[in-house]
């Protein structure tokens, strides 16, 4: 009986140690950096936090960057293009992105070293490897450069104004990107395996919500 109890206890301890730890990223987890600034500023100075959304719009290009660095995680969030007439800007392709594995020693600038889940008309799901990030896609190493695009495998973006769900998994150099439940891109042997996360505002009004991070999970 003693051995049985000991085994069950040990199993429960192991289960708990392997459990996924989830957190919601809220305003206190970010700082803002814009193209016309040289210092970090409060998120509310750059963007609107309203109705459980982050609303990014206006004339100034910039981003929200996490204060902390993350390793081996799953990031999930939802985005939609803001179609309200008062926020409309130009008629060009709508453009934004979610960056991750931004090295903690990378300086604040537009745009830092890291990997981007491209959010863009007809291109949502592309990888963009910035500032000489290296990776292998479909068994072939990409040529590192200032900004290298590796196209998505599939298209799965919803019409303008509807919410889209993104899931990004980063684990020991393997990165997978999902859009609305479909695997749209994957790479291996990424040179940057951990780092900060950013939500980019590139001039197209966009809303984000339900930003959640799962830790300590093998994907």
| pLDDT (0 to 100) of residue 65 | 97
Instruction: Note whether residue 13 is domain-resident.
Output: no
- What CATH number does the domain containing 170 carry? 2.60.120.560
* DSSP-derived secondary structure letter, 27: G
**Tally of domains within the chain:** 1
**What's this model's pTM, rounded to 2 decimal places?**
0.88
Residue range of the domain that includes 60: 22-215
What element of type H or E holds 44? helix 43-46
pLDDT above 90: percentage of residues in the chain:
75
- Tell me which of 55 and 2 has the higher pLDDT: 55
Instruction: Note whether residue 14 is domain-resident.
Output: no
Answer positive or negative: Cα dihedral of 62, 66, 71, 73.
negative
Average of per-residue pLDDT across 114-133 = 96
pLDDT tens profile 141-156:
998 999 999 999 999 9
| pLDDT (0 to 100) of residue 145 | 94
Please state, rounded to an integer, the average pLDDT across all residues of the chain.
89
* DSSP-derived secondary structure letter, 26: -
Average of per-residue pLDDT across 150-164 = 95
| pLDDT (0 to 100) of residue 207 | 97
Instruction: Note whether residue 102 is domain-resident.
Output: yes
d(C-alpha 56, C-alpha 52), whole Å: 13
Q: Verify cis geometry, omega within 30 degrees of 0, for the bond prior to 111.
A: yes
């Amino acid at each position: 009986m003693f051995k049985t109890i000991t085994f069950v206890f040990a199993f429960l301890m192991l289960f708990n140690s392997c459990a996924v730890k989830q957190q919601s990223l809220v305003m206190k987890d970010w700082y803002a950096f814009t193209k016309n600034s040289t210092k970090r500023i409060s998120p509310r100075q750059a963007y609107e936090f309203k109705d459980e959304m982050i609303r990014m719009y206006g004339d100034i290009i910039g981003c929200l960057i996490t204060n902390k660095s993350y390793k081996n995680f799953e990031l999930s969030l939802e985005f939609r293009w803001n179609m309200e007439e008062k926020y409309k800007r130009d008629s060009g392709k709508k453009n934004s992105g979610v960056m991750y594995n931004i090295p903690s020693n990378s300086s604040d600038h537009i745009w830092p070293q890291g990997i981007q889940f491209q959010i863009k008309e007809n291109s949502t799901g592309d990888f963009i490897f910035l500032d000489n990030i290296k990776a292998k896609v479909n068994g072939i190493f990409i040529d590192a450069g200032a900004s290298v695009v590796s196209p998505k495998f599939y298209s799965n973006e919803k019409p303008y104004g509807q919410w889209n769900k993104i899931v990004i998994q980063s684990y020991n150099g393997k990165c997978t990107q999902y859009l609305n439940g479909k695997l749209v891109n994957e790479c291996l042997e990424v040179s940057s395996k951990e780092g900060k996360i950013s939500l980019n505002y590139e001039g197209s009004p966009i809303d984000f919500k339900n930003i959640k991070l799962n830790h300590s999970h093998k994907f």
